[in-house]
Structure 1
Amino acid sequence: MIRTPTHDGVVAAARSIAEILPQTPLLPVEIGGVGAHVKAENLQPIGAFKIRGGWWRLSNLSPDERKQGVVAVSSGNHAQGVAWAARRLGIKATIVMPHDAPEVKLANTKALGADVVLYKRASREQGGEDRDEIAAKLIEEQGGVLVHAFGDPWVIEGQGSSGIEAAKQLEGQLEGQLGRAPSRFIACCGGGGLAAGLALSCPDAAVHVVEPEGWDMVGQAIASGEIVTASANAPKTICDALQPTATKALNLGLLKTRAEPGVTVTDDEVRDAQRWAFANLRLVVEPGGAAALAAALAGKVPIDEGTIIMITGGNADPAAFARTIAQKI
């Protein structure tokens, strides 16, 4: 029987994570004359919110499962989250990563002690390898527990811990509004693990999923009520962290009655958000981590004082980030 993530599980994850990680800042911002808040998950030790799900999943492995080790598939941030937790817990980790993953993510994953297995990502010009098949073969050959990047119940609960943390911070920041809960979360979305976790964390808050143009598999799935797979001709995007080809039934089940209609952002809007975060918040944000902010800045989602915009990652390629910032600041 597949375990179902719950609100209580998210609360337990938040309690566990609070014991090992400092809180990330909740920063007040003003966009178009309206106040809102940014949750700076790019300031996690691995530079992304994925450390939450990685820790909660691995810390819930049984003793026998820990001996087997873990296998994960990731373009880089989940890889680092799993590798960080594995090193802390003394668990062997093998990560399947695309050959074109940003070098900073590859290097950081290896530095954390994980074994990295590269695969060829599909492109318009030629087909690629199936990363899930590679992971399955590794598990068959060497054993290990699969730690899915977004379709694992413990991972979803771990990611949702950011919502519990942000809600407590918001209550302390809104003067004269004790008890004020988040009105909405705006979340960068790949496979929907963070969005599903946030939906569980704060049941009364709206959840807006933001994806790159041409990669809105979660938004389309929410609209249709069915899993949607990315086209073989899906456009290139600078948001390398937001390119799963489809969500999972678990995530769709949690989001289809909770999430608002999905929105998409362009590469140019994402770059504008990276520049805005650097100029106004002094934050380095990778493209995929800036998608939610991009949607807010472009007026594609509503905001108010109870809105929490998730900045999810800061593992930017240095050269690409420098070019983006140099364009207009």
Structure 2
Amino acid sequence: MNMQAHPIEQSLTIDDIRAAAVRIEGAVINTAMDYSRTLSAITGADIWLKFENLQFTAAYKERGALNAMLLMDGDKAKRGVIAASAGNHAQGLSYHGKRLGIPVTIVMPRTTPVVKVQQTEAVGGTVVLHGETFDDAYAHARELEGELGLTFVHPFDDPHVAAGQGTVALEMLAQVPELDMLVIPIGGGGLATGMGTAARAIKPGIGLIGVEAQLFPSMYNRLKSADLPCGGDTLAEGIAVKEPGVFTSRMLKGLLDDVVLVSEASLEGAVSLLLQIEKTVAEGAGAAGLAAVLAYPQLFKGRKVGIPICGGNIDTRLLANVLLRDLARSGRLARLRLTLQDRPGALFKVMREFDAHNVNIIEIYHQRIFTHLPAKGLTADIECEARDKEQLDGLVASLRASGYEVDQVELG
């Protein structure tokens, strides 16, 4: 699929970004930037967080969408814009399009969750559902662009969009001039291109590290001439891009110091930490910068690191799962599988061990029939909550010492 932008000006300068900042001022939030003492202590770096999840649409994307629309001439604006997106770009365009009186059409795959359709329509967009994949939706949006005389606004491979995204770095370096490194999530590369261009111009020696989900290393492959597989079900769907931008790839090759990849477990841990420590909700892509600092501490130790929390649009049920899985990884929640003899009092005796170790039982799954054990055997899966891993390990050791066969069900 050809994902490159229209053949408009294919360069980006600090002047473009400063002009974008003036253009969008007052219509987007100059979000807070705060020092995190706890995350700094955990990582060994000085961590500053930029709360882009506090924009009206809960993501930085509205900066670039607004800048692109404000640069359109009157006739084009009157006819309207179109985009293919099931995420933050759709909401940013729709919200500011309605505010400016510019009709916005968003093409989404038929598989898009209803909540994303509703969110986009709620802020003023007209949603067209087409095809099974993003590629199908993109192709249809490009057809409608020509048929209806609309202007296509690319989510990342457009200098006007990247200029708007670059205003994040302008604000960060104005708020905390002593920053000496930025960690920037990368999907198609629009945010990293804009922020990188601004940061290099203001502070040429600043460190610039891009971050991608391990399952979608598309820009990593492009910049490092690698051939890692690209695809899968990632928590960071906001940066799950199989084909990075042509313009953004060219720009980032000369801007970034490195691109690192983060695992799903790292992304989950970062989302959970941001909620627990900073009391802020980040989507997977929004937490990717922190995930990188946690996964590669040697790269950031002793540095003054700026991290944009670039989005907070995460499904609440998914967020609940992430938090519970993090508790399991830390040893506070567990599922223990015990083999017992099918006789009166067997389960009661096990309960006494849990009581002795002050471990709380949440659920018990008792299985007599569908088991590999003989007819007189049974398995019991016990979900439980402990104070910490040491308390849980003590319980498991005590159960084994009492003759029970105990397995702990591990997370992927």
Q: Structure 2 length normalisation: TM-score? A: 0.71
User: Which residue number in structure 2 is paired with residue 281 of structure 1?
Assistant: 278
> Against the structure 1 CA distance between its residues 189 and 148, is the aligned structure 2 distance closer, same or farther, given a 3 Å change threshold?
same
Indicate which of 147, 153, 162 corresponds to 2:168: 162
Amino acid at match of 2:141: A
Give the superposition deviation at 1:25. Answer: 1.3
Residues 242, 288 of structure 1: 8 Å contact kept: yes
Of 298, 317, 320, the match for 2:318:
320
Work out the CA distance in 1 between the residues paired with 2:74 and 2:309. Answer: 34
- When residues 50 and 304 of structure 1 are mapped into structure 2, their CA distance, relative to the original with a 3 A threshold, is farther
CA contact (8 A) 1:212 1:267 kept: yes
Taking structure 1 as reference, are residues 264 and 93 closer, same or farther at Cα in structure 2, changes over 3 Å only? same
Q: Aligned ranges for residues 28-107 of structure 1 at < 5 Å? A: 28-29=35-36, 30=40, 31-107=42-118
Kept after mapping to 2: 8 A contact 1:285/1:311:
yes
Cα separation, 1, equivalents of 2:130 and 2:302: 43
Equivalent AA in structure 2 for residue 79 of structure 1: A
Provide the secondary structure at the position in 1 that maps to 2:184.
strand
Q: Which moved more, 1:153-162 or 1:13-22?
A: 13-22
Contact 1:104 1:315 in 2 (8 A): no
2:257 maps to 1:260: yes
**1:38–1:308 CA contact under 8 A, matched in 2:** yes
Q: Which runs of 5+ in 2 are unaligned?
A: 1-6, 328-412
Cα shift at 1:144:
0.6
User: Residue 188 of structure 1 corresponds to which residue in structure 2?
Assistant: 185
Distance 1:5 1:188 in 2: 19
Out of 105, 121, 137, the residue aligned to residue 110 of structure 1 is 121
Over 3 Å counting, the alpha-carbon distance change for 1:319 and 1:89 in structure 2 is same
Shift of 1:304: 4.3
Match of residue 177 from structure 1: none
Moved more, 293-302 or 136-145: 293-302
Change in Cα spacing, 1:163 to 1:103, as seen in structure 2 (3 Å) is farther
Q: Helix, strand or coil: the match of 1:36? A: strand
User: How much has 1:154 moved relative to structure 2?
Assistant: 0.6
1:39–1:166 contact (8 Å) kept in structure 2: yes
Whose RCO is larger (CA < 8 A, sep 6+)?
A: 1
Indicate how the Cα distance of structure 1 residues 240 and 119 shifts in structure 2: closer, same or farther if over 3 A, else same: farther
Amino acid at match of 2:143: K
Cα pair 1:28 1:38 within 8 Å, conserved: yes
Letter in 1 for 2:156: F
Report matched runs for 1:217-228 at 5 Å.
217-224=218-225
Divergent runs of 4+, >4 A: 228-231
Using the TM superposition, give the Cα deviation of residue 121 of structure 1 relative to its aligned residue in structure 2, in angstroms: 4.5
**Residue pair 1:76, 1:102 contacting (<8 A) in 2 also:** no
The answer (yes or no) to whether the contact 1:229–1:245 under 8 Å persists in 2 is: no
| Deviation for aligned residue 1:129 | 4.8
Distance, in Å, in 2 between the alignment partners of 1:100 and 1:42 is 25
Deviation string, structure 1 residues 195-225 (Cα, Å, up to 9, x no partner): 000111111222211111131111221113x
CA-to-aligned-CA distance 1:147-189 (integer Å, 9 cap, x gap): 0000011100000000001111103xxxxxxxx3x32211111
Q: 2 CA distance for matches of 1:214 and 1:21?
A: 32
Contact 2:12 2:163 in 1 (8 A): yes
Deviates more, 1:132-141 or 1:267-276: 132-141
> What amino acid is the match of 2:95?
W
Equivalent residue of 1:312, what SS? Answer: coil
Structure 2 equivalent of residue 210 of structure 1: 211
Residue in 1 aligned with 2:238?
241
Note the residue ranges of structure 1 that are not aligned, 5 or more in a row: 123-127, 172-179
Give the RMSD, CA atoms, in angstroms.
Answer: 2.0
Residue of structure 1 aligned with 2:143, choices 137, 142, 146: 137
CA distance in 2, matches of 1:165, 1:308: 11
Shift in CA distance, 15/242, structure 1 to aligned 2, threshold 3 Å = same
Does the 8 Å contact 2:208/2:258 carry over to 1? no
Q: CA deviation at 1:22?
A: 2.8
Cα contact 2:187–2:240 (8 A) shared by 1: yes
Match of 2:127, SS state, is strand
Deviation at 1:248, TM superposition (A): 1.9
- 1:174 — aligned with what? none
Q: How many Å separate the matches in 1 of 2:217 and 2:227? A: 9
Deviation at 1:315, TM superposition (A): 0.6
Identity across the alignment (%): 32
Report the 3-state secondary structure (helix = DSSP H, G, I; strand = E; otherwise coil) of the residue aligned with 1:65. Answer: helix
Cα distance in 1 for residues equivalent to 2:111 and 2:15:
38
Inter-partner Cα distance in structure 1 for 2:211 and 2:77: 35
SS class of match (1:262): strand
101 and 305 in structure 1: CA distance in 2 versus 1, 3 angstrom threshold: farther
Instruction: Return the alpha-carbon distance in structure 2 between the equivalents of residues 98 and 28 of structure 1.
Output: 40
Matched, 1:5 2:12: yes
Tell me the equivalent position of 2:153.
147
| Aligned length, in residue pairs | 311
Q: Secondary structure at the match of 1:37?
A: strand
